[in-house]
Amino acid sequence: MSSQNFNFFSLTIQKIDRTESGARIVRLAVRDRFSKKRYTLQRWALVLFSNGLTLYLKTKPDMPADAPNNYARYMLRLTPAMRAWAQHMPGGFATYYVHNPDRRRIDNNKRLDLITKALFQHSYDGRGIRARAHTMTWFLSKNLVDQGRIRWVSVASGTGQPTFDASTAFVSPIDHLLIDSDQDALDFSQKLAEEYDKNEDTLRFENLNVIKDAQKMDEVIAEFNPNCLDAMGLFEYLTEDEIVALLRRLYAVLPVGGVMVFTNMRDTHPNLDVHKCAVAWPGVQERKWKFIEALILEAGVSSEELTILLPDDDVYGIYGLVKSQ
């Protein structure tokens, strides 16, 4: 087993295999600062709480998430900060707070109380969102070596936080193009970039719907000429046809040697009922890695170019491509 430590997380390869099609499949243990021993009690308390919610939801299998008598949804909105946070779903601000639960306040000045903080730190959703970002960082750091200047497009960038975090793992200079359909998130990422000492000249922002304005997206990305592309937390909101079409387009603009990473929630998420009916995160289509693998191959990517990355929390599948032809 090989381990690697980064500034804010560690990652250990547990097993490397090949799928039937020949793609590489890598199982990983991902740990960050909230996995440390001193959090054991909090993490267990959260597991017990989530198990309680799961048991309750199992007694009401047909209840819609927005039913007035959904007590699981109610329980998760007891604190003002959780209620304020829930308003951001499914936008980029929701993941922003989960990426860094050490923030003291939520945007409308509600204090991030201990319960809300513990939910962000230890729930499977929180762990999975950070693990997918850390896995992206690791994959890119392995495959973007010797590229000179990195030209990095982030599709559905949200606030840009996971991209900016990942960018700290590189010494090469980076130009960023951040694309999102939410202008507020893009405006915020412009401010956030200052925290990461990004030079204004190295940043570009585009307000685009990458499905509806696909042609415009192609032009903007082609002009930027990227060698690195991420699309995190987007595919679960798209249909299969949209995923294949988007992958085809993104793959087409990538040069040989270019690298791309994207994600989709898995059906193995240990608290899927809680995610859907208590957190009530809207519109997510979880998918098996085998299913996503088939979509990627359908989009014209060869199996030798594909690596399927599966963190041990089982929440997200992360899919990395290195273009070779």
Ligand X SMILES: C[S@@+](CC[C@H](N)C(=O)[O-])C[C@H]1O[C@@H](n2cnc3c(N)ncnc32)[C@H](O)[C@@H]1O
Note the residues at the interface with ligand X (CB under 6 A). 90-92, 95, 156-158, 162, 180-182, 185, 209-211, 232-234, 237
DSSP H or E stretch at residue 132: helix 124-143
If 0-12 CB within 10 Å is exposed, 13-18 middle and 19+ buried, where does residue 77 land?
middle
Return the number of the residue (185 or 315) whose C-beta is nearest ligand X. 185
Within 10 Å of residue 54's Cβ, how many Cβ atoms?
A: 17
Q: How far apart are CA 251 and CA 69, in angstroms?
A: 46
Nearer to ligand X, 56 or 234 (CB): 234
User: Min. distance of Cβ 100 from ligand X in angstroms?
Assistant: 11
Q: CA 190, CA 203: separation in Å to the nearest integer?
A: 8
Number of residue whose CB is nearest ligand X: 158
Minimum CB separation of residue 146 from ligand X in Å reads 26
Smallest distance, ligand X to C-beta of residue 28, A: 18
Cβ neighbours for 74, distance < 8 A, ≥ 6 positions apart: none
- Nearest distance from residue 219's CB to ligand X, in Å? 15
C-beta closer to ligand X: residue 157 or 264: 157
Shortest Å distance, C-beta 182 to ligand X: 4
Retrieve residue 159's tokens. 């606030």
CB within 8 Å of 10: residues ≥ 6 apart: 3, 4, 30, 31, 32
Instruction: Between 78 and 222, name the residue whose CB sits nearer to ligand X.
Output: 222
Residue 70 vs 137, nearer CB to ligand X: 137
